[in-house]
Amino acid sequence: MVLGTGPAGLTAALYAQRLGLSTIVFGDTPGGNVYMIANLMNYPGFIDGITGTQFGLSAFKQAQNEGAIFPMTRLDLFGRKEGMFSGVDTDGKTYTAPAAIVATGRAPKSLPVSNARMKGIHFCSICDGPLYRGQNATLAVIGGDNAAGQHALSLSRIAARVMLISRSDRLGMDAAHKTLIDRHENIEVKLRTNVLALKGQDVIEALTVESETVGITEIPVDGVFLAMGWQPNTKVLDFHVEKTPEGYLVTDNRLMTSIVGLFAAGDVRDTDMWQVLAACADGARAAKYAAEFLER
């Protein structure tokens, strides 16, 4: 059983099938969170890059062609029963397997405010950015990593003004993103700036922010895109397994967790590189070690 249809899960399914295993994969979005990537430029073999959606669909079809089963449902519960791993999906069907790979990835964090789900708050610029096309919009991106950079660059082609707001004293994204952002006159970077509150009734109208230079101010915005970090998706696990203080699954050098027969791959595990390429490598290794475990 593979939990997750992101790069790690799809690669695990591909390799598991090619290693002779019978594989079933749970998840309802081919490619997982890669659909948020406008252009994947750092994956070898794609000289001009590839959209996250295209990459995800191609990996999905490749695993499917190898014979992996995709019910296209998520698991509501994943536990252990009589020496087997057992999962109940959203359709109420139960599945069991002697080995499993958790590749459920991460989810973006929300602002710690009561109205963080009001209209105009988004997590995906590719999905929701076009809503502001032709509106002379002012949009804010909160965060400073590569995901925030992707959002700002995507939105700069749609909005009149994009503000990239980070509470750090420097952007935590790679040099390539920084260079591209510097070239866009309609992207304004605000460092050492903390978002205190969201203003508006049902729809976002402004941000209350605090910076070291001007203190507390209010910035009118038409929309906000969050890239404030991530949290691992492990809620489905109905048993105790060793995790880091941040909630990531701890694995050994064969990607096995503290539960015998349970492996982890990709962004959900304790890793030092949250990248598509690293997730794919994890998926391949987890499938290899799962096959060896089953053979033993």
Q: Per-residue pLDDT tens for 85-119?
A: 999 999 999 999 999 999 999 988 888 887 888 89
**Distance between CA 2 and CA 263 in Å, rounded?**
9
CATH topology of domain 2-108+230-295: FAD/NAD(P)-binding domain (3.50.50)
Tens of pLDDT, residue by residue over 20-62, are 999 999 999 999 999 888 889 899 999 999 999 999 999 999 9
- The segment(s) of the chain belonging to CATH 3.50.50.60 are 2-108+230-295, 121-226
Q: What is the pLDDT of residue 163?
A: 97
Residue 20: what pLDDT?
A: 97
Summarised one tens digit per residue, pLDDT across range 236-295 is: 999 999 999 999 999 999 999 999 999 999 999 999 998 999 999 999 999 999 999 999
What span, in angstroms and rounded, lies between the C-alpha atoms of 4 and 102? 7
So what's the pLDDT on residue 24?
98
Q: What superfamily in CATH does domain 121-226 come from?
A: FAD/NAD(P)-binding domain (3.50.50.60)
Rounded-to-integer distance, Cα 295 and Cα 288, Å: 11
Q: Collapsing DSSP states into helix, strand and coil, what is residue 291? A: helix
For residue 225, what are its two tokens? 């895109």
Are 200 and 222 contacting, i.e. CB atoms less than 8 angstroms apart? no
Q: Which residues pair with 97 in a beta bridge?
A: 85
Cβ atoms within 10 Å of 238's Cβ, excluding its own: 14
Rounded CA separation 39/53 (Å) = 9
